Amino acid sequence: MDTILPILAGAIFASGIYLLLRKGLILTIIGIILISNSVNLALFSLGRISTENPPLIAAGSAIPEAPFANPLPQALILTAIVIGFGLLAFALAMAYRSYKELGTIDQDSLLEDAEDTSAAIINKTENKED
C-alpha cells in the first residue's frame, strides 16, 4: 500500500492536469475533481498507513490501547473532502449558469474580453429604492 497509493495519487494528479488543459469547461472541472481526489489520497498515504488498533478509548481507561492508528489524517481528509465537495458543487453550478448565459462550454468563449461592465451595474442600481 505504501508504494501503490502515492503512485496512484500521482497518476490521478497527472490525468487531472491533462483534463485541466482541455478546452471544455466540464472537462476542466472534472480535472479539478480528479486533482482534489488525488490530493486527498496523498494526504491519506502521507499520514502513514498502518494496521493497528482503532483509536477508541475503552470504558474506564484514559488512553486508547497501544499501538493505535493515527486518527488525524482521516479527520484532515474528511475536512478536505467536505470543503472540496462544496467548492466543486459551486463550480459546477457556475459552469451550468455560464452555459445558460453564454450558450457554450467552450473555454475560448471566456477569452473574449467582457464588454463594458458599467451598463449592467447602473441599470441594476437605479431602481434601488432608498
Q: Please, what is the minimum distance in Å from the beta carbon of residue 33 to another protein?
A: 10
Binding site for another protein (CB under 8 A): 20, 25, 28-29, 32, 35-36, 39, 42-43, 46-48, 73, 76, 79-80, 83-84, 86-88, 90-91, 94-95, 97-98, 101-102, 109-110, 114-118, 120-122, 124-125, 127-130
How far, in Å, CA of 19 to CA of 30, rounded?
A: 7
Q: Please, what is the minimum distance in Å from the beta carbon of residue 3 to another protein?
A: 14
Q: Please, what is the minimum distance in Å from the beta carbon of residue 39 to another protein?
A: 5
Instruction: Output 65 or 85, the one with its CB closest to another protein.
Output: 85
Instruction: Output 51 or 59, the one with its CB closest to another protein.
Output: 59
Could you tell me which of 32, 31, 40, 30 has the C-alpha nearest to residue 8?
Answer: 40
Give the distance from CA 54 to its chain's centroid: 28
Instruction: Output 47 or 55, the one with its CB closest to another protein.
Output: 47
Q: Please, what is the minimum distance in Å from the beta carbon of residue 31 to another protein?
A: 9
Instruction: Output 61 or 129, the one with its CB closest to another protein.
Output: 129
Q: Please, what is the minimum distance in Å from the beta carbon of residue 51 to another protein?
A: 19
- What does the DSSP assignment read for the chain? -TTHHHHHHHHHHHHHHHHHTSSBHHHHHHHHHHHHHHHHHHHHHHT-----B-S-PPTT-SSPPSSB---HHHHHHHHHHHHHHHHHHHHHHHHHHHHHHHS--BTHHHHSPP--SHHHHHHHHHT---
